[in-house]
Structure formats: structure tokens, C-alpha cells
Amino acid sequence: MNRLENIIDINKRKGFPRVYRFNQFIRWFTLSFGTLAIVYSSWLIFTKVNADSSKFQQFVPFAIMFLALNSVFRNLFSLNSIRFQKDAIAFRYLLRKSVKIPWVDIFKIELNDSKRKMIRLLYINNGEEKNFEFTINFPDMLEIVNSIAEMNPNIKYDEFIEKVIITPQEKEQIQKKQVETSKQEQKTEEK
């Protein structure tokens, strides 16, 4: 099966609940390494750097600390997992409050084409229109976007998402192709 065929009826095939996660090894390695860099640069600042140190020696520990803090905070406050449930989709973080959006509340999905490419879900919460954005570089994004579209067939798309979503016509074509391929394989086996 090719990649496109794997996306058709993904919610039926993979079931619920289903979780997509950022690679945990990379996440925890980055957090550990960043924390160690912060501790080491703090130790350098308080024990090795003094008024007689060169400007370079005074600057480097602060640069290391800044970069490590940036990395640690990005990993702690960025999206960690997306959980598909029968009634809703939940976005989970390590140190931020999770966001749970019922399928029936989502009315549009679009690409936020700013400096950082983001997928934006527009939904209604207590009669108020809200939006939720998550990064497009999350693992298995094609599966996630198609799963969202499959769970809410009345959802609207922008031009970009419309090109990414597998339409019902494309599903039919792929399924016909699969049937034809299986018939040809059966004929080949019979010979």
C-alpha cells in the first residue's frame, strides 16, 4: 500500500483513542541536554568568570545559557501530543493546559501562512468563535489533517488544505484501483 492509500478511512482502520506524539526521545534528550547546559553555564558564570576574564569568556556562558533556556522553554510549552477520541480532539502539552475541541464545534481548517507555518482550527466554544493553531511540522501531519476532515465532513477548508485533503472522488479512484490491482493479482495467481 502506498502512503496515500494509508490515509483513506484512517479513523476506521486505526480506531479510537489514537495518539500522535512528538518523538519522545528527542524531546527528553533536548530537555536534559538544555538543563545540563544551563547548569554548566551557571557554574561557569559563578566560578570561572571574573573581572579579569576576556570579553569572550564573559560572553560565552551567557550565550550558552540563553540558547539552552530558549530550547528548554520551547520544548516544555510546545505541543507534545494530539489525541483523537470519538467525540473530540485533544492537544496536549508538557507544561501548558491541554485544549480539547469537540468535533461538532470545528467549522474550518486552514493554513496560517505566517513566518511559522501553522494549521488553524476555527471552532465555536460557548457561542464564541475561537481558533487554535498548531505547527505544521508535527509528525504525521497529513494523517492528522485528513483524520480531522474525516471526522467532520461539513468542515470548510482554505485552498492549501483543500489540496492536502483526500476528497471522496479521490477515495473512490484509489479504491477502484485497489480492486483492479487485486483482480489482476488473482488472475496472475490462477495462471
Residues 57, 127, single domain; the answer is no
Alpha helices in 2-140 (DSSP H): 3-7, 10-14, 24-47, 55-77
Q: What's residue 1's pLDDT?
A: 45
Tell me the pairing of strands 99-102 and 18-21. Answer: unpaired
Residues written for the chain: 191
Q: What's residue 25's pLDDT?
A: 94
Residues 42, 130, single domain; the answer is no
Q: What's residue 29's pLDDT?
A: 96
Which amino acid would we find at residue 22? F
Mean pLDDT per block of 10 residues along the chain (191 residues) reads 66 87 93 96 91 88 96 94 94 94 94 87 93 90 89 88 80 76 78 63
Residues 114, 166, single domain; the answer is yes
Residues 54, 102, single domain; the answer is no
Domain for residue 63, yes or no? yes
Domain ranges, residue 4: 1-22+97-191
Q: What's residue 46's pLDDT?
A: 92
Domain for residue 82, yes or no? no
Domain count, the chain: 2
Residues 1, 70, single domain; the answer is no
CA 164 to chain centre: 15
